[in-house]
Amino acid sequence: MLKSRDRSFCCGGGGLMLFYEPEEEQRMGVLRVQMASKAGANVIVTACPFCLVNMEDAIKVAGLEGKMEAIDLCELIERHLQTT
């Protein structure tokens, strides 16, 4: 993704952004999901419960439900352990 690591930004769950109501298409979570989609991602992995909720919601708003999913890092590890 173009905006990652030291150039990344919040999903919208931190800094009380959950209580700010911008237009749905302008939500930071939706922007992040769109960036991930453009990068070819079909899974977004996070260890933050706020990010997980925001990404799940943003996937629905962006119309990517069924094409992309948000999972917790522990879920990724569990899936990997089940396949080995």
Domains of the chain, by residue range, sit at 23-83
Q: What was the pLDDT predicted at 23?
A: 62
Q: What is the mean pLDDT of residues 80-84?
A: 84
Q: What was the pLDDT predicted at 58?
A: 92
Q: What's the pLDDT tens digit per position in 2-60? A: 777 887 777 777 665 556 665 655 778 888 999 999 999 999 999 988 889 889 999 99
For residue 82, pLDDT beyond 80: yes
Here the tokens at position 55 are: 């990404």
Question: 68 vs 42, 76, 81, CA distance in Å?
Answer: 4, 14, 21
For residue 61, pLDDT beyond 70: yes
* Helix axes of 28-38 and 49-61: crossing angle, nearest 10 degrees: 70
